[in-house]
């Protein structure tokens, strides 16, 4: 029962309400850092996925490790978009917000995360706080929320939790999970099982306490709230798994038979190593935490030279530090999988925010010519499978393969069909047979640039590993014709790999007025915007590139069928509306640079660096602007 604009009445009774059936909802939980909003949201998302709903989550992570509480900088939380069908992105404005204080929502308000009618369930304790300043702040925020046409429910979260625990800060999140479980009709057995799972390393007393809080939140919502939604589940038809992108990378590493992961902790890549540390030994591998990024990639290259299958994982600043060693891997033709979970900005930039700004760095970051394969998964499922592909390509072509994900994929949770493990995903055993006499360490095939890979310890397979220009016998050389030839052969491997690729599939008609080109985590938002625009009669289609070096074939032919081609990216580009910017001095988004150079087509771009996932609504607005409808 609510009073006025959602405020609870003093003595409400039990609710017996019919549930409103809806197709999907976007829910946000925002708290001060350390109050567990993300854990509640992750659990809610996992339960929803296990009930058969489509789910996509995005974590809201503060940039500082210990930001001051009750500040915009302290906002920590999660967005969960869930629905009856497949969910491919975080969507536009949220339908419901759970806020642990009145300050933290403002960082999301600044990002236009809410709309008129967004339901706000806010902790009410601040309205009676002993501090007059806090009471005034709370009252002003409530009035402001109502002025913005939010529907406000003031919830005594801490008061209710104190009935079960002396420290509500370590339990309020599970009480909220229980409250949301009633609002959205979540399966309480699945919710309880999720709590058993996430607190599996804690004592039984901790688990039981959180189970009681879960149930209490559910019962309180049942007795007091008039909010009840039903989001029907779809029949999956097959067994699904639920995980985020970094967990998918971890499972992919193990499914690929990679024996060694060497990395240095860096946001947002670090949780991959946390997950690997729990389970890689069970698949026969080890994880090595090096003293820094340079040591990590050096360790991985050394292990690969010795015959192991290796990966190093990092983010943008780590890629910068690994640069020289990556050049060594290219020159020495040492197989290596490099995973770059991109984040925002140059230098240390925006550690907890999303960007797709490392593309040019991984392509051209090394001195000299350094060809390498670059892949970009577009979904959580592809994060798993692309590691397996990257391992195969790296070993088959004796070269580094870089996998570009980003912070959006790293923390995004999505269900996908349980992979059926295959033996051919694993790296073959090290060849211990004697090296064939007369075959050199770099006995390149003149047509493909490929060569066999000797392994130290293999009889006759010893060779000198050097970053200097070398002959086919691995001897250092400065002969001009040898340097020219060996550079050609290293590059030729890219062309050889490119021959195995197929043109990208077009989402929409094969020709039309506007073609959007994306890569990485933006796929779901782009395709949702294209679908909505097409429903309105727009002649727009899209393609999404997974292979960025070499590029997928047929792009120029595809581009010719559209009046205009535009990339959609989360990295910087100049706007022609900016002062001093002209068509001659404009800086383009990173994929646009590459496509313009490769196809000689006048590819335009729409990009920004707000540190947020691209929303389908923003892309739709850009389509409407471009096609004038």
So what's the pLDDT on residue 10? Answer: 37
205 CB neighbour count, 10 Å cutoff = 8
CA-based nearest residue to 245, from 82, 415, 76, 108: 415
| Strands of 344-422, DSSP E | 373-375, 400-406, 413-417
Do β-strands 413-417 and 240-244 pair in parallel, antiparallel, or remain unpaired? antiparallel
How far apart (Å, rounded) are the C-alpha atoms in residues 490 and 547? 18
* Length of the chain in terms of residues written: 629
237 CB neighbour count, 10 Å cutoff = 7
Please say whether the beta carbons of 106 and 138 come within 8 A. no
So what's the pLDDT on residue 17? Answer: 64
Q: Tell the burial category of 204 from Cβ atoms under 10 Å away from its Cβ (0-12, 13-18, 19+).
A: exposed
How far apart (Å, rounded) are the C-alpha atoms in residues 461 and 453? 9
How far from 567 is each of 300, 542, 571, 572, 595, CA to CA, in Å?
Answer: 35, 9, 11, 12, 9
Exposure string over 334-372, b if 16+ CB within 10 A, otherwise e: bbbbbbbbbbbbeeebbbbbbbbbbbebbbebbeeebbb
List the helix and strand counts (H, then E) for the chain.
Answer: 19, 23
Do β-strands 2-3 and 7-8 pair in parallel, antiparallel, or remain unpaired? antiparallel
So what's the pLDDT on residue 429? Answer: 83
> Average pLDDT by consecutive 10-residue portion of the chain (629 residues)?
43 60 96 92 93 92 83 92 94 97 95 96 97 97 98 97 91 96 96 94 93 97 95 83 95 96 96 94 93 98 95 97 97 98 94 95 95 97 98 97 96 92 89 89 96 90 92 95 97 97 98 98 98 98 98 98 98 96 97 98 97 96 96
**Phi/psi at 571 (5° precision):** -155, 175
**Phi/psi at 577 (5° precision):** -85, -10
Beta bridge partners of 540: 514
Please give the order of strands across the beta sheet that includes 562-569: 540-545, 512-519, 562-569, 604-607
How far apart (Å, rounded) are the C-alpha atoms in residues 7 and 125? 13
So what's the pLDDT on residue 427? Answer: 85
């Amino acid at each position: 029962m609510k009073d006025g604009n959602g405020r609870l009445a003093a003595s409400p009774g039990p609710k017996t309400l019919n549930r409103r059936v809806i197709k999907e909802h976007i829910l946000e939980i925002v708290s001060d850092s350390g109050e567990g909003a993300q854990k509640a949201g992750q659990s809610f998302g996992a339960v929803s996925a296990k009930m058969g709903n489509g789910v996509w989550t995005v974590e809201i992570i503060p940039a500082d490790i210990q930001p001051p509480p009750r500040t915009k900088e302290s906002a920590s939380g999660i967005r969960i978009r869930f629905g009856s069908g497949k969910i491919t992105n975080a969507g536009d404005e949220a339908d419901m917000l759970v806020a642990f204080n009145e300050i933290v929502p403002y960082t999301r308000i600044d990002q236009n995360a809410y709309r008129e009618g967004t339901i706000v369930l806010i902790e009410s304790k601040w309205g009676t706080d002993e501090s007059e300043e806090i009471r005034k702040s709370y009252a002003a925020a409530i009035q402001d929320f109502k002025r913005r046409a939010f529907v406000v429910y003031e919830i005594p979260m801490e008061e209710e939790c104190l009935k079960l625990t002396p420290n509500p800060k370590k339990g309020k999140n599970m009480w909220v999970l229980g409250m949301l479980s009633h609002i959205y009709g979540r399966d309480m057995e699945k919710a309880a099982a999720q709590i058993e799972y996430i607190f599996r390393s804690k004592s039984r007393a901790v688990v039981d306490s959180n189970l009681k809080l879960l149930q209490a939140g559910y019962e309180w919502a049942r007795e007091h709230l008039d909010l009840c939604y039903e989001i029907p589940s779809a029949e999956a038809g097959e067994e699904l798994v639920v995980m985020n992108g970094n967990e998918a990378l971890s499972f992919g590493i193990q499914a690929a038979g990679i024996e060694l992961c060497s990395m240095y902790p860096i946001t947002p890549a670090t949780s991959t190593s946390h997950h690997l540390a729990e389970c890689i030994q069970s698949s026969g591998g080890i994880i090595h935490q090096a003293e820094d990024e340079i040591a990590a990639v050096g360790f991985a290259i050394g292990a690969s030279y010795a015959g192991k299958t290796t990966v190093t994982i990092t983010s943008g600043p780590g890629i910068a530090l690994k640069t020289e060693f990556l050049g060594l891997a290219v020159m020495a033709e040492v197989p290596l999988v490099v995973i770059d979970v991109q984040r925002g900005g140059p230098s240390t930039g925006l550690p907890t925010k999303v960007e797709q700004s490392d593309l040019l760095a991984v392509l051209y970051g090394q001195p000299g010519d350094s060809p390498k394969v670059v892949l970009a998964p577009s979904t959580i499922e592809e994060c798993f499978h692309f590691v397996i592909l990257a391992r195969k390509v790296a070993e088959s072509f004796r070269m580094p393969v870089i996998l570009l994900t980003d912070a959006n994929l790293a923390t995004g949770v999505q269900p996908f069909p349980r992979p059926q493990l295959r033996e051919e995903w694993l790296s073959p055993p090290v060849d211990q047979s004697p090296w064939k006499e007369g075959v050199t360490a770099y006995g390149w095939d003149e047509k493909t640039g490929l060569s066999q890979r000797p392994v130290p310890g293999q009889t006759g397979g010893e060779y000198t590993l050097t970053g200097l220009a070398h002959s086919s016998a691995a001897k250092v050389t400065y002969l001009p014709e040898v340097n020219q030839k060996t550079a050609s052969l290293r590059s030729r491997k890219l062309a050889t790999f490119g021959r195995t690729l197929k043109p990208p599939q077009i989402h929409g008609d094969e020709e039309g007025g506007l073609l959007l080109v994306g890569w990485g985590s933006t796929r779901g938002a782009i395709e949702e915007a294209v679908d909505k625009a097409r429903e309105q009669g727009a002649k727009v289609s899209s393609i999404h590139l997974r292979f960025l070096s070499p590029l997928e074939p047929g792009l120029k032919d595809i581009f010719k069928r559209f009046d205009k081609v535009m990339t959609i990216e989360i990295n910087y580009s100049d706007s022609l509306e900016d002062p001093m910017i002209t068509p001659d001095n404009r800086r383009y988004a990173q994929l646009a640079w590459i496509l313009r150079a490769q196809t000689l087509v006048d590819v335009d771009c729409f990009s920004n660096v707000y540190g947020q996932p691209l929303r389908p609504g923003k892309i739709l607005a850009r389509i409407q602007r471009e096609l004038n409808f």
